[in-house]
């Protein structure tokens, strides 16, 4: 295992960026989100969670698909090039890594999404253990260990030093490329194990870690879908879509055309099942009320997705929706409400 002092991390970032793009948490106007590293970037690796998840390194919020250009009477179509440059996403937490695995189930299943596949093939994930999980976190409910993230490389911050452990062939290759900036530490394993225990002790005390998923699976479709609980839960919903845009696993998108003045640029962009015009077609929309849209979001996370993906839930317990929903209509509230179904509502 290798280590480097936090104060020297810029040397590590510089070394990585010599040969490939580097994405990591960058603070801008008081908000921290993933962005491309530059020498003058205000890097913040101490942040537990960025506002948005880092999923847009693999599934961008907006990306061009192809461009149509008209010259006289001739129309030419130019497809957008797939990702060809290697890149590193540094500092991803265990919940966000699980979020990428959820996206893999969607975009790498037949028919494979070539844009997503190219980014996954060229991307290297450097994970970082959670130093101090927060009260809004509940990743362990979904079997995720915040102290021991699984990626190409795992890292831990301990006493002002970053400890680095490659876990895959991609991780080994990246380590070989940057190992000149590291020092080796024969006591690193013991320090990391002690840190894991410290993180797990914090995790066990968090209020949402005891949530029960009993009854949430593909076998409960009719029971959950037809429950009267939804009629009470949805009413304060503003249909703002905040929950879907901060979520690491939401994968809905729209495809639109932009008139460039001399042609048309077709692109796709994130969309939300919480919007009234989501999947709108000539005949209308198959979910006509906000209750139906609200129900769809959580049924997909907790029932439909595990039913079709070997029990994997489409929630990773990151807590972003808990923090950001202006009406506190997050997934924790839904799960708790159904714990009392048939009696008094939570």
Give the total residue count for the chain.
346
Question: Which of the four pLDDT bands, split at 50, 70 and 90, describes residue 346?
Answer: very low
Average pLDDT, the chain: 92
Among positive and negative, which fits the CA dihedral 48, 50, 53, 58?
negative
**In the chain, where the domains are located:** 2-204, 218-339
The answer to whether residue 344 scores a pLDDT higher than 70 is: no
Is 341's pLDDT higher than 70?
Answer: no
**Cβ atoms of 153 and 12 closer than 8 Å:** no
Residue 323 pLDDT more than 50?
Answer: yes
Considering the chain, what percentage of its residues have pLDDT values greater than 70? Answer: 97
Phi, psi for residue 91 in degrees, rounded to 5: 95, 10
CA distance 86 to 119: 8
Closest by CA position to 301, among listed 283, 280, 316: 316
State mean pLDDT over 215-226: 89
User: What's the pLDDT tens digit per position in 7-46?
Assistant: 999 999 999 999 999 999 999 999 999 999 999 999 999 9
Any residues with CB less than 8 A from the CB of 155 and at least 6 apart, and which? 91, 126, 127, 128, 129, 162, 163, 164, 165
| pLDDT value of residue 314 | 96
SS3 label, residue 299: helix
Dihedral of the alpha carbons of 99, 103, 104, 110, in degrees to the nearest 10:
160
d(CA 29, CA 120): 30
Give the residue-averaged pLDDT of 261-269.
Answer: 91
Label residue 324 by pLDDT band (50, 70, 90). very high
pTM of the model: 0.92
- Residue 17, pLDDT score: 95
Instruction: Give the pLDDT confidence score for residue 284 in this predicted structure.
Output: 65
């Amino acid at each position: 295992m290798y280590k480097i002092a936090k104060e020297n991390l810029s040397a590590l970032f510089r070394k990585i960026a010599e040969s490939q793009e580097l994405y990591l948490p960058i603070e801008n106007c008081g908000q921290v989100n993933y962005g491309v590293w530059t020498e003058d970037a205000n890097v913040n690796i101490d942040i537990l969670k960025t506002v948005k998840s880092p999923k847009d390194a693999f599934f961008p919020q907006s990306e061009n698909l192809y461009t149509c250009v008209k010259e006289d009477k001739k129309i030419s179509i130019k497809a957008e090039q797939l990702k060809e440059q290697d890149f590193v996403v540094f500092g991803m937490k265990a919940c966000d890594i699980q979020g990428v695995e959820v996206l893999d189930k969607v975009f790498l299943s037949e028919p494979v999404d070539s844009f997503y596949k190219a980014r996954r093939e060229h991307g290297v994930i450097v994970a970082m253990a959670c130093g101090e999980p927060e009260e809004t976190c509940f990743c362990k409910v979904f079997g995720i260990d915040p102290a021991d993230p699984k990626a190409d490389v795992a890292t831990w911050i301990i006493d002002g030093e970053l400890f680095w452990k490659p876990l895959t062939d991609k991780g080994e290759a990246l380590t070989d490329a940057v190992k000149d900036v590291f020092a080796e530490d024969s006591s690193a394993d013991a320090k990391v194990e002690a840190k894991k225990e410290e993180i797990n002790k914090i995790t066990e005390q968090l209020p949402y870690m005891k949530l029960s998923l009993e009854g949430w699976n593909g076998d409960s479709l009719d029971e959950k879908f037809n429950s009267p609980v939804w009629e009470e839960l949805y009413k304060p919903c503003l249909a703002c879509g905040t929950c879907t845009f901060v979520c690491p696993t939401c994968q809905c998108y729209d495809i639109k055309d932009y008139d460039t003045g001399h042609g048309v640029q077709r692109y796709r962009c994130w969309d939300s099942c919480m919007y009234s015009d989501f999947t709108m077609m000539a005949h209308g929309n198959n979910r006509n009320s906000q209750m139906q849209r609200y129900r769809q979001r959580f049924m997909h996370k907790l029932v439909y997705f595990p039913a079709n993906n070997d029990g994997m839930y489409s929630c990773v317990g990151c807590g972003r929706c808990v923090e950001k929903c202006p009406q506190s209509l997050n997934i924790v509230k839904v799960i708790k409400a159904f714990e009392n179904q048939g009696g008094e509502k939570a």
